[in-house]
Structure 1
Amino acid sequence: METKPLTLIHMFRREVRFVVPLFQRPYVWAREENWEPLWQDVMAAWHLHGQAEAEAPHFLGAIVLDLVKGQTDTTEVRQVIDGQQRLTTLQLLLAAVRDVASELALPERNIKSLQRLTVNDDEMSSDPDDTFKVWPTNADRGAFRNALSAGSAAALASQYPQERPTIVQAYLYFAGTVRDWLLQFDPADREGAFDQLVSVLNHGLQVVVIDLGSRDNPQVIFESLNARGTPLRASDLVRNHLFHEAERQGLPVQDLYDRHWARFDDGYWREDVRQGRLVRPRLDAFLGHFLTMELVQEVPAHQLFLTFRRYVRDSGLPLTDLMARFGTFGDVYSTLDTGAGLAPSEQVFLRRLAALDTTVIMPVLLLVFGRDNAATRRDVLQVLESYLLRRMICRLTTKNYNRLMLDLLRQLRPGQQSADDVVLKFLAGQTVDSNYWPSDEDVRYAVGVLPLYKQLTRGRVRIVLDLANRQLQTASTEQIIHDLDRLTIEHLLPQAWEQHWPLAATGTASRAEESARRHGLLHTLGNLTLTTQRLNQSVSNGPWVAKRKEILERSALNINRTLPEEWDDRAIQTRGASLASVLCDALPRPAATVGAAEHREETEEVDDDPAVAPEIRSVAGRPGRRNVAKHILAVLQAHPVGVVLTVSQIANAASPEYPDADVSPGAVSQRLRAGNVSGVEATTNSAGSLAATLRRH
């Protein structure tokens, strides 16, 4: 390869075309990160013009070019391997300065000088687009042509009265900035300032041009320059690799682009989406799910491109078939992401999945929606929804979902059995606590005892209550679909209950015990409902008669139709049990599932005293294959008395009960809150989180 520094006059003055391959990414430079710094560089060079410090041109970066072989025209053509963003931006800047100068009637000689840096004069060419010194990738050519040819910012802006491509925005930024800068000078000084600016643009800026030789591999150099620590995304590298390989194989590149990739150059695919702690373009997110589906392995975000390159090499598919497959599943992903064209039940499932905030299931959905019919998809979603929502309600861990979904993919990939049967049998056969499909007994316990309002996000509480509401829909009740985000979660027994909600007088329990019982019920599902708007605080905390009247007057939800005339602790428990049954019906679980209750080896005695608040009653009767209490005690006994361990530390430690350290943190929390683990005292750590220590004797 040959490396040489060039000023812009030496770069653009000759008859030359710098062509960006269609498989490179569109123009993505932005104002704050790129345009403003470039203009500041120009101004820095302008201020130093004519001084000793300005003898060396201002360096703008490197450009990598590859000579296009077999040229017959008089115009030299170079393919841009790296640096297309910089080249495109320089042309937009030069054109903007040229057009503003013409608008302000500045000297014609300087305008012509700028014109020679932006337009070729090849009389032998029959293609009008050959006049452009830089020719960007397909997605940007229309906007670039209009920007370079409009003649003024006003003329270009009129062509794009609403949404403007990034290239158009760049031209308008430079045109406005240059115009404001020139107008700050008095008319007598403006011509001199402009002369100096043109001199800087011609001679005061420099790029390093790397021309590749016949033995240099453009793709290897492109990847080396961009695969580590640069703004290029993994999907940009993937596109470049695919079409470079298509060129190498002599395939119809333009046709492949139009049929299989053009859709991915839409702005939708470049929008950033959040996946856990990661924020990356939607196309990169899809790329990760696609590779997981195809390879049945986890693909770290920083290895997307390298993994895809191996996939292309090892798949055995012809490149045209591979690109068609990628495009097909891209359409499937877009459908799943937007819900467009899906059945209402499928859209509801996807909204609930979004509230769960787990994306590890997406490769499974891609495979099923890309391969199976509507009836099979419906049954698969029903099984997945039951499994995921039951586990969420029961506060069971999600930490093993990655591995579980990979195992499920392995079962689904052969396609020899119907996908709904495979998914059902696979999930029904999970007996390890970390993957267990909760039973109806589990759900009733969680709904009746756990403070789900505190333990779940508001969005997840809404989808549970909405699920119950939809399940209560009958043929004789009108169907009203609410935007869940607009519904408010309301405590029927208010959190500030002391003034209008006296405790029941009993002779068997102390006031402290009755208060503990009530606080234990306060945040359970039986005491929660949905309303279309937040109730007035005075009504919300006031007597039940007024509160019930207000809810019934403004609500058409099924879960509010049967609110009783009296609301007390027993009513909360009754409603909780009713909602639990409704949820179990809405989330059917096959009777053949091997439940932990059938395998319970040993449990402690359960305190059935009705005077004890549900939150402090023993949870030993909750189905569990192994004894969580024994696990907690064993972990703490490995430390001196007085050492405080958090729930996470206890859950992630091994014991004879859980040698693989796969106990659910939710199960540990339940045990500790129950307060009946022999020899263990529940406490809080320095951060205020639930913890435990050995009890001192």
Structure 2
Amino acid sequence: MIKSANQYPVHTLFSHEGNVMYRVPPYQREYSWMKPQWEDLFEDLIEADGQHFLGTIITLDQTTDTLQSNILEVIDGQQRLTTLTLLLAACYSVLKEHIDELDEDTRTDVTNLSRQLVRKSDKQPRVTPQKQGRNLADYRRVLEEAGLPIKGEWKAYFPSRRVAKCYRYFRSAIVRLAEQDGVTQPAAALRVLEAAKRAVLVKIEVASHADAFVLFESLNNRGMPLSPVDLIKNHLLAESEKKRIMHVDEAFQHWNAMLTNLGDNYATQERFLRHYYNAFKSELPDVPNATVATKSRLIRIYETLLGGDLRSVVDKLVDASEIYGRINCVVEVDQPTSLDRAFQRLMRAQGAPSYVLVMWLLSKRHELELTAGHIETAVDRLTSFFVRRNLTGYPPTYALAKLFMDTIDAVGGARGDDVVAVVSRRLSAASAGDGVFRDRLLGRIYEENTDVARFILATLAEDGMTKETSVDLWRQEKNHFVWTIEHILPQGENLPPAWQEMLGGSELAAQVQEEHKHRLGNLTITAYNSNLGNKSFIEKRDRQDSAGRYIGYRNGLTLNATLAQRESWTAADIEERTNALADKVLARFPL
């Protein structure tokens, strides 16, 4: 079944001297990675202590003429390979723009990087995506835009598709990294490039398509490996037994108490262990070369901490986990306080990276003379910060840990209102300004970040509710929200005749749809998305269920108040509502 399975660093897989090409077959789905995956890859690379493991790819040798090229068909791993080469192209672009500032050896590295991405012999890309969704055309265009020796082809709406957006995300991330580290852009690009070239992949080569798909199926149904949380637990139990500080059963009970407070989500457990170290670092034993807890350092950090006063460490972890569980809304409270509702908003705004700061504030609340009102204000500021951050991408993900740790240090001798003022100043200084935030609100927000779009829409709708009209917009059934985002002007292809007529004919309608469908003004919240679909605007506005209740835009949500009065829905209407909602969002999430 397997012809070979070997671990290779990226610079070997894409050797500038080699003749290998990686071709994605036509039956593969189109490129689908989005901003969360791009962020994770970038962050993992720059935080890696050594070689970052990128995972496994499965290939099939499709070479017909060994003198021409060695063609490997990518059965599994196309998303990873495509994204990785777009990252390398972004590095090349930055270095190429500053080529005169580089020394001779670095210029040689830049030339070699060019040949790693585009073969010197025939100017063909090392990775060839499939054509579906215009992936191949967009990919070639990106490489040309990066300054590589390849002929690209412009296709309509190129900037709004994922391949182009991925490349531009990495370009921006390199610039932000340079600003964050206080170095030049070429220095930041070289740091990212070296981390990417050191990263390793396991390349499995198979003999046939049948073997490839059997292997692919078995790899994707394998058992879960031990996680860092499991390994830290095992180390705790081993140390308890070796040092005879507490019985293994007692240590296990403490650990389970911590996990009970945190819930059964592994990501939450692992994040808590990182946040605990980052929050209380100044009070903990020194861990060499661990200024901040990252995933790759976590095991080493806790081996050091548990090697000291084990009982004290475990007791403090359990106490902190109880606070963390409340912040993370692990247990649903029967009668939530105003502060609990603030925690819920922060969680829904994807504000988990700030839990390190909130946990520290809650644990030190008496010492810092903080009331529940003080903490609620700080949490609301954090919610505003994350709505802005998750839409603008600034500050970058890898800078968040340092931001919140520095904020903890900056509190110093501040007490009460002054603590909240310190937090507010730090968040405001680190956040993108109102101008940048408004620009993103006026853009294709649904495509930029669907979760942020939904949070904004739901919040604006909730703000208009009374006790009598209150509706739970976050209710889920079968792990899916009942209330979902509805595109007023439908987003699907083949607009019905009624929409084409309203928008001035099929050609103009297609243009309006492409430019405006994902904008804030064209979005609302409904529990009956499937009942509205591609129906005309009037049908959507006046739609009722079998009991005669309005389920369209006359459903009583203040978010839909202007829609309920409209007789048509055009580009001008979307523009007007987008600007009006953007004003409300800026006022609702101030910094």
The TM-score with structure 1 as length reference comes to 0.42
Structure whose CA Rg is larger: 1
